[in-house]
């Protein structure tokens, strides 16, 4: 795009409603427009304003900013002009990555208040110096706010978080008080647990009796457990407990814990006894079969869907290892386990594994014999011949017809090449952008290390480690996104030949592409991780109803609905 056709982006931002009311935004826009007209002599038609009202400058998650950067990356912008440097960014690393985009796309950056532009070397140097102080100011402000909040908590003052279940906010007292609607339900939960109810049973009771959660949702064993463990219910105030609402717990010395701040909702002795039992039950679970599950490979994890409620199945336990070394996983409906609102039966890998591997082998077999198949009946008989020791009666007629269309090239849109090619191109473009971001992150890491190692006044060790950790996390995320695109390539480009090839390669490696019944257990014992990767590359999901596989949906979109006697 010719330089004269590119837009001049004026970026304005305020972070509070107070600033908006004081006409800070109109003032910024007026000054920037005057500068463009009288100093740069830019045509008004080229000017475009990007405005973020009430947005913080501590990160780049701002709608107008993101919209502007999209235009920068597409080569539509010649200048980015701001009133003050901290209007666009107050974070050194964020600005460094953003400035890389400016330089790569030949964009001149100008700040009116600091009187510089990056078209000169001195302007670029001054810019980086100013940004260091802008970030320092933000961090000092953040530390002051944190100190104030912790000070308030230590004095027993509420810091404005959402009040928990059983409590309401009292505007006059400026503190939580017992809820007239929820308090009794909360007290009853403690007594039910003492009377032998589990957290799951309490959740089931609450849902059956239409007792809503604080947000009006359904109860689960976790929400009940979280309520029973909250120390506010015995009158104590706990603050700065986690990094975020659901983040990791902080070190004990960082937590503010003050006793007897609020009138207790439940007798403290009852609270302590309930929590003692919760701890005891948790230890029992983790020394039985619950804990090791997280360390084991569960081949069908994430692939099974409940035919009754539509929720995914999750692993409930891993059986003891059999004499041959086989250790099957057992799966339960998530809504049954967490909320007790589904009565579907659990399923075991003992049944699902052999069924699925032989069904896939049948699909490979029909592809190899497709020229001999005359009609849907022969197709069905060939598939069923692979399925020994099952009560499978047949396959739905529309599934058979779809398979015949696939085998003989009379496919519907899900098998046509055009959308696949378009999706493949989109993925390739996305992958290229991710690689560019990866390079930028690497450059930012390198600059950060140099600043720390060679400039004694640049930053202290803690600040360096925090920024380095953030960049390394971003780098891992980008790498994982690239890997996801590569892993999805098989699924996104699959057609008749690719689908057959994916399955056949696995079966040939294990010398089981013989048309005979396949011993699933021996393959699972040999390499669970490979079996899991294989199932995920071929199967999109499996629908289970009454412990039977009622539908198989392959990665290429083909769906087989199964009929039983």
Q: What is the residue-wise DSSP string for 346-379?
A: PEEHHHHHHHHHHHHHHHHHHHHTGGG--SHHHH
pLDDT tens digits for range 22-48: 457 888 888 899 999 888 888 888 999
| Residue that wins the pLDDT comparison between 326 and 32 | 32
Residue whose token pair is 């005891």 = 280
| Residue that wins the pLDDT comparison between 507 and 162 | 162
| Residue that wins the pLDDT comparison between 58 and 252 | 252
Residue whose token pair is 């592809």 = 367
Percent of the chain exceeding pLDDT 90 equals 20
Distance CA 347, CA 128 (A): 60
Is residue 358 predicted with pLDDT exceeding 60?
Answer: yes
Q: Residue 50: which H helix or E strand, with range?
A: strand 47-53
What angle, 0 to 180 degrees and rounded to 10, lies between the N-to-C axes of helices 221-229 and 183-194?
Answer: 100
pLDDT band at 459, cuts 50/70/90?
low
pLDDT tens digits for range 403-437: 888 777 644 333 333 444 445 566 777 878 888 88
pLDDT band at 229, cuts 50/70/90?
very high
pLDDT for the residue numbered 67: 92
Whether residue 156 contacts residue 258, with contact meaning beta carbons closer than 8 Å, is answered with yes
Q: Residue 48: which H helix or E strand, with range?
A: strand 47-53
Distance CA 536, CA 299 (A): 9
pLDDT for the residue numbered 293: 40
pLDDT band at 461, cuts 50/70/90?
low
Which of 211-220, 421-430, 504-513 is the most confident on average? Answer: 211-220
Mean pLDDT of 526-536: 78
Is residue 99 predicted with pLDDT exceeding 90?
Answer: no
Q: What is the mean pLDDT of the chain?
A: 78
pLDDT band at 455, cuts 50/70/90?
low
For 545, the 3-state DSSP assignment is strand
What does DSSP say about strands 548-554 and 175-178: parallel, antiparallel, or unpaired? Answer: unpaired
pLDDT band at 522, cuts 50/70/90?
confident
| Residue that wins the pLDDT comparison between 487 and 78 | 78
Which phi and psi angles does 548 have, rounded to 5°? -120, 145
Mean pLDDT of 527-543: 83
pTM for this prediction? 0.42
Is residue 457 predicted with pLDDT exceeding 60?
Answer: no
Whether residue 388 contacts residue 528, with contact meaning beta carbons closer than 8 Å, is answered with no
Where are the extended beta strands (E) located within 54-160?
Answer: 77-82, 108-111, 116-117
Q: Among 1, 556, 553, 11, which Cα is nearest to 303's?
A: 553
pLDDT tens digits for range 74-91: 999 999 999 887 788 766
Mean pLDDT of 468-486: 74
pLDDT for the residue numbered 94: 67
Which of 12-21, 226-235, 441-450, 460-469 is the most confident on average? Answer: 226-235
pLDDT band at 227, cuts 50/70/90?
very high
Distance CA 491, CA 536 (A): 10
pLDDT for the residue numbered 78: 93
pLDDT tens digits for range 368-405: 787 788 888 888 888 888 887 668 888 999 888 888 88
> Residue ranges of the domains in the chain?
3-150, 167-286, 415-492
Is residue 537 predicted with pLDDT exceeding 60?
Answer: yes
For the segment(s) 3-150, the CATH number from 3.20.20.80, 3.40.50.1390, 3.20.20.450, 3.40.50.2300 is 3.40.50.1390
Is residue 470 predicted with pLDDT exceeding 50?
Answer: yes
Is residue 288 predicted with pLDDT exceeding 70?
Answer: no
Mean pLDDT of 192-213: 90
| Residue that wins the pLDDT comparison between 170 and 290 | 170
Is residue 523 predicted with pLDDT exceeding 50?
Answer: yes
Question: What CATH fold (topology level) applies to the domain 167-286?
Answer: Hect, E3 ligase catalytic domain fold (3.90.1750)
pLDDT for the residue numbered 61: 79
Is residue 320 predicted with pLDDT exceeding 60?
Answer: yes
pLDDT band at 121, cuts 50/70/90?
confident
pLDDT for the residue numbered 453: 63
pLDDT band at 156, cuts 50/70/90?
low
Mean pLDDT of 276-290: 69
What does DSSP say about strands 77-82 and 7-14: parallel, antiparallel, or unpaired? Answer: parallel
């Amino acid at each position: 795009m010719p330089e004269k056709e590119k837009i001049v982006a004026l970026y304005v931002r305020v972070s509070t409603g107070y600033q908006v009311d004081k006409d800070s935004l109109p003032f910024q826009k007026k000054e920037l427009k005057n500068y463009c007209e009288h100093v740069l002599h830019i045509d008004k038609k080229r000017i475009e304003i990007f405005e973020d009202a009430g947005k913080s400058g501590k990160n780049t998650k701002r709608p107008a900013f993101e919209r502007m950067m999209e235009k920068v990356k597409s080569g539509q912008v010649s200048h980015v002009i701001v009133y003050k440097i901290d209007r666009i960014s107050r974070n050194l690393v964020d600005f460094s990555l953003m400035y890389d985009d400016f330089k790569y796309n030949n964009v001149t950056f100008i700040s009116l208040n600091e009187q510089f532009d990056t078209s000169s070397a001195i302007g670029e140097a001054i810019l980086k110096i100013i940004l260091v102080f802008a970030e320092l100011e933000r961090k000092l402000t953040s530390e002051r706010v944190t100190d104030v909040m912790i000070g308030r908590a230590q004095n027993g003052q509420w810091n404005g978080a959402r009040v928990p279940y059983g409590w309401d906010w009292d505007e006059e007292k400026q503190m939580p008080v017992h809820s007239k609607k929820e308090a009794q339900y909360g007290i009853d939960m403690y007594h039910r647990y003492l009377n032998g109810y589990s957290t799951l049973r309490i959740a089931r009771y609450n849902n059956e009796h239409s007792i809503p959660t604080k947000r009006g949702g359904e109860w689960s064993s976790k929400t009940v457990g979280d309520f029973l463990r909250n120390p506010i219910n015995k009158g104590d105030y706990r603050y700065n407990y986690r990094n975020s609402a659901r983040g990791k717990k902080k070190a004990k010395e960082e937590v503010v814990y003050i006793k007897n701040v609020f009138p207790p909702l439940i007798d403290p002795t009852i609270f302590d006894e309930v929590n003692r039992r919760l701890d005891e039950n948790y230890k029992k679970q983790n020394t039985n079969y619950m804990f090791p599950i997280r360390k084991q490979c569960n081949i069908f994890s994430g692939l099974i869907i409940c035919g009754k409620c539509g929720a995914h199945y999750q692993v409930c336990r891993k059986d003891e290892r059999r004499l041959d070394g086989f250790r099957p996983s057992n799966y339960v409906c998530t809504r049954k386990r967490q909320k007790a609102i589904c009565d579907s039966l659990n399923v075991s890998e003992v049944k699902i594994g052999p069924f699925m591997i032989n069904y896939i082998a049948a699909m490979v077999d029909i592809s190899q014999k497709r020229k001999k198949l005359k009609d849907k009946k022969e197709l069905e008989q060939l598939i069923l011949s692979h399925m020994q020791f099952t009560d499978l009666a047949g396959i739905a007629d529309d599934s058979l017809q779809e398979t015949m269309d696939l085998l003989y090239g009379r496919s519907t849109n899900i098998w046509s090449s055009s959308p696949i090619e378009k999706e493949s191109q989109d993925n390739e473009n996305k992958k290229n952008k991710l690689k560019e971001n990866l390079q930028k992150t690497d450059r930012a890491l390198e600059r950060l290390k140099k600043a720390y190692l060679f400039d004694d006044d640049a930053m202290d060790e803690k600040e360096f480690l925090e920024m380095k950790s953030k960049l390394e996390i971003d780098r891992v995320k980008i790498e994982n996104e690239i890997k996801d695109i590569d892993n999805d390539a098989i699924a996104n480009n699959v057609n008749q030949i690719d689908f057959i090839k994916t399955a056949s390669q696995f079966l040939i490696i294990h010398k089981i592409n013989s048309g005979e019944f396949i011993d699933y257990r021996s393959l699972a014992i040999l390499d669970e991780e490979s079996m899991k990767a294989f199932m995920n590359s071929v199967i999109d999901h499996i629908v289970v109803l009454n412990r039977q596989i009622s539908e198989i949906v392959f990665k290429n979109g083909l769906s087989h609905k199964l009929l039983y006697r």
